[in-house]
Amino acid sequence: MPIDLGVFYQIDHRLISLGMLAVLLAASEIGYRLGEATVDAPESLRSLMSGTGAAMLGLLGLLLGFALSMAIARWDLRRDVIVDEANAIGTLSLRAGLLEDPLRGELREALRAYTEARIALGGSRSDPDALRAARLESEALHTRMWSVVERANRPATMNATLSSLISAANELIDLHELRLASVENRLPAALFLLLLGMAAFAIAFLAWSFGAAAHRGRTPMLLLALLIGGVLLLIMDVNRPQRGRIEVGVAPLERVEASLSTPTP
């Protein structure tokens, strides 16, 4: 049965942190106890187990680096889309000045409402109803803005003015779907589970070596589990723009909203 990625990334980060820590600590404890049970194992087996654990840990580090790089690339894409969207709103607002009233006022008023909806889209966070409401409002405002552009198509409007308005409006509408896609563009849940499973096996192999060598201290394994768990949580948090601690932010849109609220001379 396929994993529901949308539900997976909506789980509270505290529950996920506890779950990851429990899996890694359980793997460490199981490996250590199995090692204690085979304390008389030959040296060749100990070397094999510790070498296997070290190799798995090296491979895990490589995969974690790639996964973190992919997650940051997606985070950068979400930020770039918001910047592009803010620029598109500002451009269309400026080109609205080429129209005569009441079309100019209607278009700028629609843009102010649209900017508020886009800010709400970024602030909806874990509330799916707020996210859906912001999306539906944005799509309704698309129709409203395009209606103004259509009514601007009259003999008194120069072709260059109409062409610039159509171009700016099209870009703004296209960015809507691009932003929604960027929010849903996350690393597959299967990759995250693979990393967690590999981390558990690597820690279990190393813990077995500690137990077989009669090392009483579990502190190194605990610290390793915490370190790997922290990196995994960071990767997943960056992939949860609607839930994670690391937010993309909507500062560019807030600046555009302030400029749109300033009366035009």
- Measured CA to CA, the distance from residue 204 to residue 59 in angstroms comes to 15
- pLDDT surpasses 70 at 6: no
Report the pLDDT value the prediction gives residue 121, as an integer from 0 to 100: 79
Kindly give, in sequence order, each residue whose CB lies less than 8 Å from that of residue 69, ignoring residues fewer than 6 positions away.
none
Confidence of residue 7 (pLDDT cuts 50, 70, 90): low
Percent of the residues in the chain that have a pLDDT greater than 70, as a whole number: 86
pLDDT in tens, 169-184: 888 888 888 888 887 7
Percent of the residues in the chain that have a pLDDT greater than 90, as a whole number: 3
- State the helix-helix crossing angle for 43-96 and 251-261, rounded to 10 degrees: 10
Instruction: Choose the most confident range, by mean pLDDT, from 39-43, 115-119, 122-126, 130-134.
Output: 115-119
Q: Considering only CA atoms, give the Rg of the chain.
A: 27
- pLDDT surpasses 70 at 149: yes
Q: Which of 11-15, 59-63, 205-209, 236-240 has the lowest mean pLDDT?
A: 11-15
Find tokens 């749109």 and name the residue.
Answer: 260
- Measured CA to CA, the distance from residue 240 to residue 17 in angstroms comes to 14
Confidence of residue 52 (pLDDT cuts 50, 70, 90): confident
Report the pLDDT value the prediction gives residue 87, as an integer from 0 to 100: 92
Report the pLDDT value the prediction gives residue 123, as an integer from 0 to 100: 65
- pLDDT surpasses 70 at 127: no
Confidence of residue 3 (pLDDT cuts 50, 70, 90): very low
Confidence of residue 119 (pLDDT cuts 50, 70, 90): confident
Q: Which of 3-17, 43-57, 166-180 has the lowest mean pLDDT?
A: 3-17
Report the pLDDT value the prediction gives residue 2, as an integer from 0 to 100: 47
Predicted TM-score (pTM) of this structure: 0.78
Kindly give, in sequence order, each residue whose CB lies less than 8 Å from that of residue 140, ignoring residues fewer than 6 positions away.
none
Sign of torsion, CA 144 145 146 147? positive
